[in-house]
Structure 1
């Protein structure tokens, strides 16, 4: 009897950790993202949540909170909110976190990345690994890089083909003092505001223009907000980070951590494919650019020589910010891009 009782107690003791682990899983995990479907940025977040929820059999129930609603629409507060426990998971824009994570600003150096091959070289190479290590030090486990897309500039007043064409234009930017320097350096009047405030500002004429990926311009019908001119200049590309709060990550067992990572990578790959669709780059058609023209938007596609004129005008901005971001990291980025030639 004593032996049987001892075995039962031992079995109960062995079972206890598994039960305790299961009890740490919450009824819901909150995932924050800027914007909403159908833009590729938000689509990546929704797909990640759906994949995790489905493949875990509902044990890990992830709910997306679009429009950065958990931080009152202010996307620049998402990183702080995650560290405070308000947000469990997030698809971060590197633009929005760069004021707090200076290394993420490498993607905002003007005209650093000439094309998507250059962008891929950064996120898939040493630069990407370094940035993920920095995020880990900020209590965020980065699982995958996605892409919001190259940011093009639109406005209500005129075509932009040279730096001088920006003179006097009121241009909205999302976050980061580097954007203030970029547009000030070309004689524009930059204004920082959240995406939630952008559409009414365009509609009322409070700002003349904005810079965002083509897919977002089309999804939010900015052509109906007096944006009649679009310049394809690829001046920066907004990398996305699919991240989980470190404390939340540590609450999952190894198998579920692998599940979260695999789902993030799959959703990020789909996000990148959607972000590049219709832009006329290798492997896609130019349906998005044709749709702009169908909506009576004048599309100006800059040549390599015209882009160099902008890059030259902004060289002082590049040099000033390279030292702030980290000279070593910027040199790694430049070397990775040169290696593609």
Structure 2
């Protein structure tokens, strides 16, 4: 009888242990716009892998690519995360800018020239102010990633000056700032989702598009008539690893630190991966017959001058403190 009670007690203890383990286990949704065929999607998956490994399987981040949690409408991702429909995301400053106007900083035309300028902003006072603006809207930002500087392609002709853009229909994302930029350059900006962009390029409904080299390369934009690619680094699109505020507050402090450090490590890994691949991507694109146009300083200066009014118009919406921090950062030698 004693032995029976002992086995019963052991069984009850094992069941309780299993129940506690189950209760401690957590699964969270993570939204991204691109799959792991792209550095963007790889950043989210790296974050998930690091969290799973470091929590010994107790915390699972399930990645949902292609903006599937918002029915493909990437501009709704931030709002969905804020409302709790999405737990976490690795999101784009472009896509989140309708809800966080300060993030339009990174879409200002020709504010930054290169990676050093971008790093000076994100890793300095400008980055802190941008993160503070996100947190004020109910989202906790953890780390930076990178979608890259956006370049211009088209099917009509080499673009070396604003005059070359006159009348060209260029697909742009759903942001008024992009509309203003390409209007200032004399183009005809056409807003559409990325899902609609490739068919439009295929049929010639639009002449060109702007995206990072990784997207041009992996999505094989050269196969839809995009024969000319202008490297102009006209704006950058940093990525942000972030968490819904309510989800964050419900986590134990140790889990918050684990999640944050994993995000920082994944972001650093993805930025290096993305930048190190640029030279090979460019070589592959050239090999596929695309004419790559590299602007001289004077040619780039003409684009800067043509879009100066756009910076002036949008600076007040971004805020003096953030604008001053960014301009000081890029002015440093």
What TM-score does the superposition give when structure 2 sets the normalisation length? 0.92
CA positional deviation for 1:175: 2.5
* SS at 1:292 equivalent: helix
* SS at 1:151 equivalent: strand
Residues 167-186 of structure 1 aligned to structure 2 (within 5 Å): 167-186=166-185
CA positional deviation for 1:271: 1.2
Q: Deviations over 1:209-268 (max 9, x none)?
A: 110011111000111011110000000000111001111111211111111011101110
Corresponding residue for residue 116 of structure 1? 115
Residue pair 1:98, 1:105 contacting (<8 A) in 2 also: yes
Q: Are residues 1:289 and 2:288 paired? A: no
CA positional deviation for 1:307: 1.0
Corresponding residue for residue 81 of structure 1? 80
What TM-score does the superposition give when structure 1 sets the normalisation length? 0.89
* SS at 1:165 equivalent: helix
Corresponding residue for residue 250 of structure 1? 249
Residue pair 1:142, 1:241 contacting (<8 A) in 2 also: yes
Residue pair 1:249, 1:257 contacting (<8 A) in 2 also: yes
Residues 124-135 of structure 1 aligned to structure 2 (within 5 Å): 124-135=123-134
Which structure 1 residue ranges, 5 or more long, are not aligned? 1-18, 280-285
CA positional deviation for 1:20: 8.9
CA positional deviation for 1:38: 1.8
Corresponding residue for residue 298 of structure 1? 291
- Return the alpha-carbon distance in structure 2 between the equivalents of residues 64 and 202 of structure 1: 29
Kindly tell me: are residues 105 and 24 of structure 1, through their superposed partners in 2, closer, same or farther at Cα, counting changes over 3 Å?
Answer: farther
- Return the alpha-carbon distance in structure 1 between the equivalents of residues 189 and 48 of structure 2: 35
Corresponding residue for residue 93 of structure 1? 92
- Return the alpha-carbon distance in structure 2 between the equivalents of residues 213 and 277 of structure 1: 14
Residue pair 1:25, 1:251 contacting (<8 A) in 2 also: no
Corresponding residue for residue 164 of structure 1? 163
Residue pair 2:93, 2:104 contacting (<8 A) in 1 also: yes
Residue pair 2:31, 2:65 contacting (<8 A) in 1 also: yes
Residue pair 1:24, 1:251 contacting (<8 A) in 2 also: no
- Return the alpha-carbon distance in structure 2 between the equivalents of residues 32 and 193 of structure 1: 20
* SS at 2:112 equivalent: coil
* SS at 2:59 equivalent: coil
Matched residue count: 316
Corresponding residue for residue 188 of structure 1? 187
Residues 1-341 of structure 1 aligned to structure 2 (within 5 Å): 23=23, 26=26, 28-279=27-278, 286-339=279-332, 341=333
Kindly tell me: are residues 24 and 76 of structure 1, through their superposed partners in 2, closer, same or farther at Cα, counting changes over 3 Å?
Answer: farther
Residue pair 1:156, 1:227 contacting (<8 A) in 2 also: yes
- Return the alpha-carbon distance in structure 2 between the equivalents of residues 210 and 231 of structure 1: 11
- Return the alpha-carbon distance in structure 2 between the equivalents of residues 67 and 75 of structure 1: 8
